[in-house]
Chain A
Amino acid sequence: MNWRNITTVYLKELKDSLRDRRTLISVIVVPTVVMPLMFLIFGKVTASSVAKAREDVPTVAVIGGSDSPEVLRRFREAKGMRVVEAKADWRDAIAAKTLRVAVDIPDRFAARLESGEVPAVRIYHYQGELKSENGVRVVERFLAELREDTVARRLAAAGLPKGAARPFEFRRENVAPPEKVGGNLFGGLVPYLIILLCFTGAMYPAMDLTAGEKERGTMETLLCSPVPRVDLVLGKFLMVLTGSVSAMVFMLISTAASILIGGAALLGGGAGARSAVAAAGAMRPPELPAGPLPIIDPLGIVGVMAMVVPVAVLFAALAFTVSLFAKSQKEAQSYLGPMIVLVVLPTSLGVLPGMELTTGTALVPLLNLSLVCKEMLSGVWNWGYIGLIFGSSCLYAGVALGLAVRMFGREEVMFRT
């Protein structure tokens, strides 16, 4: 192994790649522009839909209640909903989204309440439809108030204090630091994006430097040089690794910049931002920390980047080896494309609830990274697992790199026709 040779090959590949529009698009433009753009557009659209749904005054149809005029009056006077008479086709109207909710007040509701019966009010809605669900919340709040008033009246009549039916209150309060909360919420998403970009960042340079060279006839030219094959592989491999790591770094920088600098403005301020981000991560807004957007521990990010390095090496070596086998870039693309699924699958498993780090999961490539990153971003530093995961990832990367070198030396691969 000669570092002068490796550097010569690497610098040539770097120069060549920087002049290639397709490599620049896949390694720099896509991670820098498209990912944050998608994230922000998704966030903005979600935020505006959530805001619109909240601003929407739900139309509520009341079925029955003519024998309970006081209840009906309170319904009509309630804030946050528009009460209408129920028509015969109220079910169809809910399905057609022209009516949000229908409330069925049972016969003699007020009278039965007075007699101590427990009549049941039915709420009809469109499950999963955001505006209908909002309507249900408004109606439930109104009915809860009505029930509390009834209880208060009964207690007063019996000469009992208010606290007799509600002896104590409770409320929840977050004590975890904002960065831990942010890490817990985004711990699954961040490694997922990083791993995906690491792989896609390695893909194009790998194809260009191997199958592309074979297709263009420059591989044979290069093989004529007296440089040992291992030096050629390492020089080229370093370029693929550069592509992979660059994609990750550009994505992280641009995403962080978009969130920190333009995020609040683009997403329409703190509340909107929180809603959007929460919706994007399928998380509830109250769990998010105060401030325009959740904070992630910078030390956690550094830890994630360090853990990603051997995985980037693994990706670069795998993409390199697979592409090397192909005769053309098109063939390489058909091999590497489906590999994205193999990358996404174990990474996605790490986001599932209940999936924890164990000695077993710590040895599963990508799943282990996904899980440990989630922990590190939440401020949990389990050094035993971190060491095991880093070590096993290095081992996998080493094996993959060894395979790449071996493949490069095989005539049937290099001169495959």
Chain B
Amino acid sequence: MIEARQLTKTFRDKKRGEIHGALDVSFRVEPGTIYGLLGANGAGKTTTLRMLATLLRPTRGTAVVAGHDVAAEPDRVRARVGFLAASTALYARLTAREMIGYFGRLNGMTDAAIRARTGELSERLGMGEFLDRRCDQLSTGMKQKTSIARTIVHDPTVLIFDEPTLGLDVMTARTVVGFVRECRAAGKTVVYSTHVMSEVEKLCDVIGVIHGGRLLAEGSLAELRARHGLTDLEDIFVHLVEGAGGEAR
């Protein structure tokens, strides 16, 4: 489970002064559900998710991830989280197998457990053909499968996806979306950030609209439609953002 309580991250910029990457963001994600964080570029999605993955320390507020506080026990949180983002790349000079093995060892797994898990993931994701090929020789789809395997090698209970389909072709994006669904089916707690409306509609059980670092609205798609009297998610999003005095990018 994830419970974010007034998560706030303030950056200090010499020219622009204080900037709120996230401001009082609170939400809760239950196991077996996908929470969609919907927002334009620069809305605060990545900052929020990086705080949940303990890559960034909250300036104020906190979050409890899989029973551990992100500020007090970051190492324990990371051991229970799988974080996949467009910005989390692979080591070009390692093979897919070595990449998975490396993260298995970093997560404290034994060599035997890594071997078994690599075999299992290879079969599940169809990686057998390229498992021993260097990452710089893999296609985008192969890379994404390797990234997924790296993310879940330690079987985390919480999965955080930050725009994981950014820049991917349709087929590869489908693989990712399919995998996210599998995670939900397996009872994992999933947070999925994107600015692609169709992905949110297809995947998310609960949607949080974020803009200017603030969470503007939250609810299921049906709840949001009923609350705003609009059927199209894009219209709801624009309505919310414009209502907050911003401009949807």
**Which positions in A face B, CB cutoff 8 Å?**
5, 8-9, 12, 15-16, 19-20, 216-218, 220-228, 411, 415
Contacts and interface: CB of A to CB of B under 8 A. Distances in A.
Nearest to B78: A226
A9 B151 CA distance: 17
A16 B91 contact: yes
Contact of B78 (A16, A20, A224): A224
B22 interface: no
Interface string B89-110: 1111110001000110111100
Contacts, number: 65
B102 A226 contact: no
B81 interface: yes
Given A15-B98, A225-B103, A226-B107, A217 B89 contact: yes
A9 B91 CA distance: 13
Contacts of A222: 106
A411 B56 contact: yes
The 5 closest A-B pairs by CB, nearest first: A217-B89, A226-B79, A225-B106, A226-B78, A221-B88
Interface in B33-86: 50, 53, 55-57, 75-76, 78-79, 81-83, 85
Determine chain A's interface SS by DSSP, over half rule. Answer: helix
Given A12-B98, A221-B88, A224-B53, 9 more contacts: A12-B91, A16-B91, A216-B92, A220-B55, A220-B88, A225-B78, A225-B106, A226-B76, A415-B56
B90 A227 contact: no
Interface residues of B, number: 30
Contacts of B102: 8, 12
B116 to A, nearest CB: 18
A411 B57 contact: yes
A417 to B, nearest CB: 9
B145 interface: no
B198 interface: no
Contact of B55 (A12, A227, A415): A415
A220 B54 CA distance: 11
30 contacts: A5-B106, A8-B105, A9-B106, A12-B91, A12-B94, A12-B98, A15-B94, A15-B98, A16-B93, A16-B94, A19-B93, A216-B89, A217-B87, A217-B88, A218-B88, A218-B89, A218-B90, A218-B91, A221-B150, A222-B106, A224-B78, A224-B83, A224-B88, A225-B78, A225-B106, A227-B75, A227-B106, A228-B75, A415-B55, A415-B56
A218 B143 CA distance: 13
A278 B89 CA distance: 54
Contact of A221 (B56, B76, B79, B89): B89
B93 A20 contact: yes
Choose among B87, B92, B102, B151 the residue with the greatest number of A CB atoms under 10 Å from its CB. B102
A221 B84 CA distance: 8
Contacts of B88: 217-218, 220-221, 224
A415 B85 CA distance: 14
Contacts of A8: 102, 105-106
B81 A224 contact: yes
Contacts of A224: 53, 55, 78, 81-83, 88, 151
A12 B95 CA distance: 12
A227 B105 CA distance: 10
Contacts of A415: 50, 55-56
A225 B80 CA distance: 10
Contacts of B82: 224
Contacts of A218: 88-91
A226 B106 contact: yes
Contacts of A226: 75-76, 78-79, 106-108
Nearest to B93: A19
B225 to A, nearest CB: 35
Contacts of B81: 224
Nearest to A227: B106
Nearest to B79: A226
Choose among A15, A218, A221, A222 the residue with the greatest number of B CB atoms under 10 Å from its CB. A221
A19 B78 CA distance: 29
A216 B89 CA distance: 7
Contacts of B91: 12, 16, 218
B148 to A, nearest CB: 12
Contacts of A20: 93
B100 to A, nearest CB: 12
B55 A223 contact: yes
Nearest to A232: B106
